[in-house]
Amino acid sequence: MFKKKITFKILLLLIASDVLETAIHFFFKKGALAQSSLNVVDWASAQEFFKAIFASPFLWAGLFTVFTVFIIWSTILSKIDLSVAVPIASFSYIFVPLVSIIFLGERITLLRWAGILFILAGVILVSLSSKERIIQPK
């Protein structure tokens, strides 16, 4: 069975996956932002949009980061349970809005922060509920 204890190395990996996960969304947003003047209404404009966006270095930086996070995440899951890893990794729900405020100049209302906290709590509960299946195998 898997170990449940989080070692210092695992914690570092979890923090790295949080930070890189946030970076993915930042990169994708940056790539999309440059193309936001294009109004996608039909097939031709969609082709133009995707041609431009796939030429953006930000998009490829994002895809490369997706691959890196996949490797880090697989390493984490080979060491600890999913129900332990997900709540710690869910901090990207806080990091992404923070990055949006600082680097993208977005504004977040108090109501929206409340919503973000509800989502965070929900994701943590859902991941914790998977523990019950492991404790009571058939």
CA distances from 92 to 14, 39, 43, 96, 123 (A): 11, 30, 34, 6, 11
Cβ 86 to other proteins shortest distance, Å: 10
Query: Which two tokens mark 50?
Result: 């995707």
Which CB atom, from 14 or from 26, has the smaller least distance to other proteins? 26
Q: Is 105 helix (H, G, I), strand (E, B) or coil?
A: coil
Cβ 64 to other proteins shortest distance, Å: 14
Q: Which residue has the tokens 């932002």?
A: 33
Q: Among candidates 20, 5, 110, which has minimal Cα distance to 70?
A: 20
Contact assessment for residue 39 and residue 45, using Cβ atoms and an 8 Å cutoff: yes
Cβ 72 to other proteins shortest distance, Å: 16
Q: Which residue has the tokens 């490797």?
A: 71
Which CB atom, from 5 or from 138, has the smaller least distance to other proteins? 138
Which CB atom, from 7 or from 130, has the smaller least distance to other proteins? 130
Cβ 43 to other proteins shortest distance, Å: 13
Report the interface residues with other proteins, using CB under 8 A: 25-26, 28-29, 31-33, 35-36, 38, 40, 49-50, 53, 59, 78, 93, 96-97, 99-101, 104, 106, 108-109, 111-112, 114-130, 132-133
Query: Which two tokens mark 134?
Result: 């492991």
Which CB atom, from 71 or from 121, has the smaller least distance to other proteins? 121
Q: Looking at this protein, which amino acid is placed at residue 107?
A: R
Which CB atom, from 16 or from 77, has the smaller least distance to other proteins? 77
